[in-house]
Amino acid sequence: MRRAWQIFWHAFFWVCMMSFFMFIAYSGGRNSIESLVVIFLLFGVVNISLFYLNYFYFIPRFLDKKKYWQFIVTVVVGVIAIGVAKYGLALLFKSIILVRMGREITFWQYIVSSAFTSIIFVFLSTVFRFSVDWFLNERIQRDLENQRLTAELSFLKSQINPHFLFNSLNSIYSLAYQKSDTTPEAILKLSEIMRYMLYECNDNKVDLEKELQYLQNYIDLQKIRFGNKAFINFEVNGEVTHQHIAPLLLISFIENAFKHGVANDPTSPIVLKVNLSESHLYFFIQNKKHTHNRDASGGIGLMNVKRRLDLLYPSKYNLEIRDENDTYTVQLSLVL
């Protein structure tokens, strides 16, 4: 179907071009309608045939393969052959084609004139072919780049689930080991979180409201793990309406605060703020550092989120991380 449309538009273009030039020539009053039909239809078809002969055969067979001399020789031979063929046709309409102002055009005069016209069509065909190839290559490169980015994003997102599950299961294991009565509640909370991650996060963007609820569920799970002795001030300022955000983008910062920070000190709670406007999000989290809680794998989540920000929000975010002696602070400004 697509090829049929291409043929239609090519035919439509040439019909319009020939009709336009016939109208211009006829308006000059020097040519009869019969002579214009012969000149433009008969010889126009020959020139258009040369156009597509170069487009579909000469260029792919020689020029695309860098056989430049073969291409030049083939074009020259083709132009001469077309000129001779057109002269043979002109003899059939000698009074229309070969007689100008009472004088007959000689064979070589006609060949030179025909060659000039043919070279113009070859040139246009070559330019058109290279233009089409350039646009096709650009589209292919964009498609390949999009596929690569999609694959990389899928890989990065797939890393989040095991990373999160690993940390959460460690938390629940601690509760079970302590025979805590809150273990069933923690398992239920984890089930709600995993349901969101499995069924709500398949798209590139999710409702911001759902993502914030997911963060709240994670915080609740951590409070259960700490026996309700985890202190975190979580504030959301601004109206949550129809904003969307890439899923699982902010969780790594919160995980990092609980994992490497001090969460059970009421005098130094984790501070988490989300300020919203119609199209911007400002995320702030700060925690007191726990000098004895170090994990060599703790940087996976942060490297992951930085890469996702680069891919999903190029030139639309500003991330500042301050790793000071006693505190760790993350500030993210994001255009939604």
pLDDT at res. 283: 95
pTM of the shown model? 0.56
pLDDT at res. 154: 63
Q: Give tens-digit pLDDT for 163-191.
A: 667 767 777 787 787 777 778 888 887 88
> 180-335 sits in which CATH class?
alpha beta
Question: Quick one: which H or E segment has residue 286?
Answer: strand 280-289
CB count in 10 Å sphere of residue 36:
18
pLDDT at res. 298: 47
Distances from the Cα of 261 to the Cα of 47, 225, 265, 291, 327, angstroms: 78, 15, 10, 8, 8
Distances from the Cα of 226 to the Cα of 36, 170, 180, 220, 262, angstroms: 93, 12, 11, 10, 11
Which of 285, 288, 286, 269 minimizes the C-alpha distance to 231? 269
The full set of domain ranges for the chain reads: 2-141, 180-335
d(CA 37, CA 151): 58
User: What residues in the chain have per-residue pLDDT under 70?
Assistant: 1-2, 19-42, 95-97, 99-102, 144-164, 167, 291-301
Bridge partners for 270 per DSSP: 232
Which tokens hold the place of 33?
């309608």
- For the chain, the residue count is 336
d(CA 62, CA 53): 12
Q: Give tens-digit pLDDT for 37-65.
A: 666 666 778 888 888 888 888 888 888 88
